[in-house]
Amino acid sequence: MNKKKLTYLVKEKAYELGFSFVGMSKSGFLEEEAPHLERYLKNNYNGKMQYLENHFDMRLNPNLLVPGAKSVVSLLYNYYTENQQADKNAPKISMYAYGKDYHFVVKYKLKELYKYIEGLVGEIDGRVFCDSAPVLDKAWAKKSGLGWVGKHGLLINKGQGSYFFISELILDVEFEYDAPDTDHCGTCVKCIEACPTGAIIQPYVINGSKCISYFTIELKEGIPQEMKGKFDNWAFGCDACQTACPWNRFSIQHNEPEFLPHQDLLKMTANDWEDLTKEQFQEVFRKSAVKRTKYEGLKRNLNFLGFTTTSE
């Protein structure tokens, strides 16, 4: 099968599986990203996320993850929803965590796509990734023509904004490759102005150790007191920069049933959050990414926001 037909069939199958956008790029060393990653780590912008210091070379070269790799297939899966938490005074949960943990939902579909490609070309060597290995997702999505990395450090797609999960297949298969996208942020600085903690220290430079998502998800110890009053009620993750981004006016409602929130989540009032028990946590967030912080971690976040939770 020639590369043009193979590329067409793989993209069509990806859309059939529910992916919104898919692009192909040639596997190789990410020369442009290397100095950026080095500066990020040197400035300790990763905070306590020490895992980002591991596998430096592997992050920049997918051929170290999959020897003999020829292509990186990048895919975007929409999670945007018009549904919102009803009580504006309640603690806020990032939209990506409303439904079932994306790691399971997207990875299942990646494996289906992988099997489909094998059905077309025979046995292949490769791996699937969904935020589960040292892969620079946004860099590859950009190279594959799926968008550009905005001033807030997130991938923006010109057609539908930034509310996407990024995933990849790294394969020893050749495709027709897509051209990288160009930057369309212009002079806009709305995301920088909207960041409650000043984590976007300058356009395209993010101090991850000041991000609310870092404090509420990644940080395992106590949240620094100097951050008191700066979280704008975010209890798990933060969507402030995405909410402010003008490109997200083009976001559309996802159609993934697995991403529908638990029936009780959006109805929870501020009082409900204050009274949240471990049993309720396990029920409401049973399949959600919020489970990553565990009940004790979420309780820490709620207490930091001033919501005194039930002690257990």
Q: Identify the bridge partners of residue 149 per DSSP, sorted by sequence position.
A: 155
- Do 151 and 203 meet the contact criterion of CB atoms below 8 Å apart? yes
From the list 87, 101, 131, 232, the catalytic residue is 131
> Catalytic annotation on 131?
yes
Element holding 165 (H helix, E strand):
strand 164-171
Residue 110 tokens, joined? 């990646």
User: Burial, 291: exposed, middle or buried (Cβ in 10 Å; 0-12, 13-18, 19+)?
Assistant: middle
Residue 312 CA to residue 297 CA, distance in Å, equals 13
> In this structure, are residues 86 and 227 in contact, taking their beta carbons and an 8 Å threshold?
no
- Spell out the residues 6+ positions from residue 52 whose beta carbon is closer than 8 angstroms to its own: 40, 41, 46
For the annotated catalytic residues, the residue numbers are: 131
